Copies of this chain bind each other. A is one copy, B any other.
């Protein structure tokens, strides 16, 4: 029986692209805000890769986001204020997320298993009203997904075996890693996470334990 559900956040729970684009447009007038947001996010995985590979010690995502902000601003020929980094604390949830999480929380522990830090996930939860029971994920493990340590540390923090936990994500890669660590898996597509021309993660690429239309559908299937 699944006793806890852990969730990818960026893309799965919240629309980072639309929300960061809005913040960029407000703070960097004259810049192509959508292109800037996309470029900023494109620095995300390479920055974590160095840490996953051991080339750099654990650094919270807030700091990586800030470094990446200035790299991106330089490429766009502008100077960005550090305060723009808090855009990642004000990401709008997809409309099904809060009702779906609220329903799932009735019967199971729910927590983020994100690469975001405790600070970032806490502030984002307050902004987006995500009703988490606790904050799990990268900072607990001091490493980054998709390293197995992140999923396993989240299970250990709840004192549950991986088979009693389910990872929920809009990204097949996240679910492959979670399944390899022994967790159950649920796929919820977010076909516009990357904009109208999205070409990846439009559909499940494996036989995930659950494939749901959205979070309210997932809640109904788990009930």
Interface of A with B (CB < 8 Å)?
60, 62, 109, 111, 117-119, 121-123, 125-126, 132-136, 139-140, 157-160
A-B contact pairs, 27 of them (CB 8 A): A60-B159, A109-B122, A109-B123, A109-B126, A111-B122, A117-B157, A117-B159, A118-B136, A118-B140, A118-B157, A118-B158, A119-B157, A119-B158, A119-B159, A119-B160, A121-B134, A122-B133, A122-B134, A122-B158, A125-B133, A125-B134, A126-B133, A132-B134, A134-B134, A134-B135, A135-B135, A139-B157
CB distance from A103 to the nearest CB of B (A): 15
Which residues in B have their C-beta under 8 angstroms from that of A132?
Answer: 134
Give Cα A128–Cα B135 distance, bound, in whole angstroms: 18
In the complex, which residue of chain B has the Cβ closest to the Cβ of A112? B134
Give Cα A125–Cα B111 distance, bound, in whole angstroms: 13
CB distance from A2 to the nearest CB of B (A): 16
Give Cα A109–Cα B133 distance, bound, in whole angstroms: 14
Which residues in B have their C-beta under 8 angstroms from that of A136?
Answer: 118
CB distance from A69 to the nearest CB of B (A): 16
CB distance from A62 to the nearest CB of B (A): 6
B157–A134 CB distance below 8 A: no
Which residues in B have their C-beta under 8 angstroms from that of A134?
Answer: 118, 121-122, 125, 132, 134-135
With A134-B134, A134-B135, A135-B135 known as contacts, the answer to whether A62 contacts B159 (CB < 8 A) is yes
